[in-house]
Amino acid sequence: MKRFAIVLFIAVAGSSVFAQVSYQRLLNADKEPQNWLTFAGSYKSHRYSPLTMINRQNAAQLKVAWAYQMRAGVVETSPVVVDGVMYLTEPPSTVTALDVLSGRTLWTYTPNIPADVIVIGSPPVNRGVALLDDSVYFGTVHGHVMALDAKSGAVRWDVIVEDNKHGYYLTLAPLALDGKIIVGVSGAETGIRGFVDAYDAKNGKLLWRTYTIPAPGEPGAETWGKGDGWKTGGGSTWLTGSFDPDLNLLYWATGNPAPDWNAENRPGDNLYTDSVLALDPATGKMKWHFQFTPEDLHDWDANETLVLFDAPVNGRDRKLIAQANRNGFYYVLDRATGEFLTGVPYAKQTWADGLDAKGKPIRKKGIAPSNEGTLVFPNIQGASNWFAPSYSPQTKLFYQAAREMGTIYYRGEAVYKAGTAFTGGGGRAVNGDEASGAIRALDATTGKMKWEFPLLSPGWTSLLSTAGGLLFGGTDEGNFFVLDAESGKPLWDIQLGGQVRGFPISYAYNGKQYIAIAAGTTLFVFSV
C-alpha cells in the first residue's frame, strides 16, 4: 500500500512538474517536437516541425480531426501546444486553452477592453501567447501585458505597458526568456514613440525599456532633423523577435516612421525605424543595428520575422539572420556583428536600383507619395508583412509568401493629435486581377529563388515546413494546401471557407501528428 502511494505521488508530482515550461525547455524546443512551445516554434523562428508522421507519402490523406469556433473578428493567431494543451488567442485579446485531442475548451479568459479602445494601423488582432513555467503571457489591444495561470486562466498580474489613449496597443505574442517577458508595441499610425520592454515574469515589474527612437543627444538623434519629430516618430515593435542564447543577443525588428507618407517633420534617415536591433537581453542595451529602409515614405515596417540560421558564406561558417522585408528585398546579415552580406529582391519592386555594398537602398527618383498619387511596388502592406516565413534546416530553403501588388501612394496633411491617425496620406491598392502572389523558396544564404508556387492573389499566409518534406500554407480565398518542400509541387488542398490569416503549426499527441491552422474565425486541426 505504501509502495502504491509513493508511485501515485510520483505520478501526480511528475505530471505537475512536467507541465512547467521551464526556460531550459524553451532553449531546447527542437528536442520535443510533439510540442510547439513558442510563437515561432523556437527562438530561431524557423517555424519548422521535426515531425515526420505526416509526409509526402500520406499528405493526400489529411482530414479534419476537429474544429474550434472562435469569437468574431480578424484571427491572426499562432497557437502554442504543450503536453496536451493548446493555448490560442482570439480577437481582440482573449486567451483560450483547448484539449488538443478533442478541441474542447479547458478555460478561457477575456480582459475588460474599454469600448473606446484606440486601435489605429491594423485590425484589433492578437497573434498568440508566450509560455514560461506555469504562466501564459499575452498582450492586449488596450495596451496591457498580462500573466495568467496556465492551468486555470486566473490572472497572476496585469501591467499597463503604455497609455492606449496615445495609441499604444499590443497585438504580438510576447517572447519568454530566462525569467523575462519581452514585448513590443503597435501604434506608429498614431505617432507613438516605439520601444521594446522586458518585464519580470514573476511579478510584471519593468526591468528595462529600449526606445527605438533616440532622444536629442543620443546616438542617431541627428537623423530626425532639429524639430520634435522624434517624439511622435513611430518605430513600432509589433512582432515577436528572435533570440540567440550562445551570442546572448535578442533580435527585435522595428516599424515605420510616423507620419507614414509625409516626411516633412522628420528629415533624415529616422533611426532606428525600419531596422533590426540586436539587444543585450539583460539590459536592453543596443549592440548593433541595421536599417533596411532609411527615411521610409511608404509604410514599409521592417517588423517581419527574423530567421536565425548558420551557414558558410564565402567558405567561412557564419551565424546569420535573414528577413524577407516588406520593402521587397531579402536580406542576410551576420547576426554577431550586423554586417550586411546579401540583399536581393524576392518580389516586384520599383523604388530602388538595388542595394549598395552596405545594404543601403539606392532609391529611385519620383517614388515619393504625392497629391495626385504615385504608383510604386510593393504595395502599402508590403511584399511581406506580419505573416511568417519558414526555414527548413532539411532543405536549407527560406520559404516566403510574396505579395505582388502596387499601390498608388498619396501624400496628405500630417497633424498630430494624441490618439488619432497621424499618417500624412495613404494609398489605394492596385488589386483584383492586376495583383497576385506566390510562395517562393529562396536559397537561404543567397536569396536565389529555387522554385515558386503562384497564388491567385497577394495573401496573408504564414508558412510551416516539416521534416516530412512538406510546406503548409493558405490563401486569401480560403484554400489550405501542402506543397512538396523540395519542389513546390502541390500534394493536397482543402477549401476552409474563410481567409487564411492564421499561422500553421504542428504538434503530436499519443504518437499522432497534427497540423493546426485558423481560417476565418475557425481553428481547424488536421491529421492523417
By CB under 8 A, residue 514 contacts another protein: no
Return the residue matching grid coordinates 519592386: 349
377 binds another protein (CB under 8 A): no
Omega of the bond prior to 312 within 30 degrees of 0, cis?
A: no
Least CB distance to another protein at residue 54 (A): 20
Q: List Cα–Cα distances, 334 to 308, 309, 339, 482, in angstroms.
A: 10, 10, 5, 32
Smallest gap, in angstroms, from Cβ of residue 457 to another protein? 7
CA distances from 515 to 331, 459, 475 (A): 29, 20, 16
280 is catalytic: no
CB of 208 to another protein, least distance (A): 34
When computed from its CA atoms, the radius of gyration of the chain, rounded to whole angstroms, is: 22
DSSP state of 187: -
Within its chain, how far is the Cα of 204 from the centroid? Answer: 23
Cell 489605394 sits on residue: 428
Phi-psi region of 270 (alpha: psi -120 to 50; beta: other; left: phi over 0): left
- Binding another protein (rule: CB under 8 A), the pick from 256, 305, 423, 513 is 423
Could you tell me the smallest distance in angstroms from the CB atom of residue 375 to another protein? Answer: 12
Contacts of residue 414, Cβ cutoff 8 Å, sequence gap at least 6:
259, 262, 264, 265, 422, 423, 424, 425
Binding mask 128-167 for another protein (x = CB under 8 A): ----------------------------------------
Which one of residues 394, 457, 522, 527 is an interface residue with another protein (CB under 8 A)? 457
* DSSP assignment letter at 355: E
User: Which sign, positive or negative, has the C-alpha torsion 177, 178, 181, 183?
Assistant: negative
Helix (H, G, I), strand (E, B) or coil at 467: coil
391 vs 410, beta carbon nearer another protein: 410
Nearest residue (CB) to another protein, 338 versus 437: 437
> Of the two residues 134 and 493, which places its CB atom closer to another protein in the complex?
493
The rounded distance, in Å, linking the Cα atoms of 192 and 235 is 8
Question: Binding residue for another protein (CB under 8 A) from 314, 365, 372, 510?
Answer: 372
Q: Is 462 in the site for another protein (CB under 8 A)?
A: no
Residue with Cβ nearer another protein (114 or 497): 497
Query: What is the pattern of x (binds another protein, CB under 8 A) and - over residues 472-511?
Result: ---xxxxx-x--------x--x-x----------------
Shortest Cβ 412–another protein spacing (Å): 6
For residue 186, the 8-state DSSP code is: B
- Pick between residue 129 and residue 408 the one whose CB is nearest to another protein: 408
**Residues that contact another protein, how many (by CB under 8 A):** 35
Nearer to another protein, 41 or 425 (CB): 425
Q: Which of 217, 358, 433, 511 binds another protein (CB under 8 A)?
A: 433
CB of 460 to another protein, least distance (A): 12
Beta strand segments in 190-281, E: 195-200, 206-211, 242-244, 249-253, 275-279
Query: Does residue 412 interact with another protein by CB under 8 A?
Result: yes
Pairing of strands 63-69, 352-355: unpaired
Interface residue with another protein, options 55, 431, 446, 487 (CB under 8 A): 431
Q: Segment contacting another protein (CB under 8 A): 204-212, 266-274, 327-335, 430-438?
A: 430-438
β-bridge mates for residue 307, sequence order: 322
Give dist(CA 34, CA 276) in Å, integer. 31
* Active-site residue identified among 260, 296, 299, 301: 299
Amino acid at 21: V
410 binds another protein (CB under 8 A): yes
Sole binder of another protein in the list 378, 425, 468, 502 (CB under 8 A): 425
Interface with another protein, residue 415, by CB under 8 A: yes
409: alpha, beta or left, given left = phi > 0 and alpha = psi -120 to 50?
beta
Residue from 24, 112, 371, 510 in contact with another protein (CB under 8 A): 371
Of 55, 373, 443, 449, the one binding another protein (CB under 8 A) is 373
Complex with another protein: residue 35 or 423, whichever CB lies closer: 423
Out of 426, 468, 469, 498, the only residue in the binding site for another protein (CB under 8 A) is 426
- Binding test (CB under 8 A) with another protein, winner from 202, 348, 360, 428: 428
- Comparing CB distances to another protein, the nearer of 91 and 427 is 427
Which cell goes with 345?
A: 529582391
Reported for 356-359, long-range contacts at CB under 8 A and 24+ positions apart, including other chains, are 359/290, 359/292, 359/331, 359/333
**Could you give the string, one character per residue 256-295, with x where binding to another protein holds by CB under 8 A and - elsewhere?**
-----x----------------------------------
192 binds another protein per the rule CB under 8 A:
no
Q: Nine-digit cell at 327? A: 520593402
Interacting positions 379-408 with another protein (CB under 8 A): none
Rounded to whole angstroms, how far apart are CA atoms 300 and 289?
A: 17
| Residue closer to another protein, measured from CB, 20 or 431 | 431
Among 51, 59, 402, 414, binds another protein (CB under 8 A): 414
CA 268 to chain centre: 27
End-to-end CA distance of the chain: 43
| Cβ neighbour number for residue 510 with a 10 Å cutoff | 8
Helix (H) or strand (E) holding 470: strand 470-474
Query: For residue 30, what is its C-alpha cell?
Result: 527542437
Catalytic residues, by residue number, are: 299
Binding footprint of another protein on the chain (CB under 8 A): 189, 261, 370-373, 410, 412-415, 421, 423, 425-429, 431-435, 455-457, 475-479, 481, 490, 493, 495
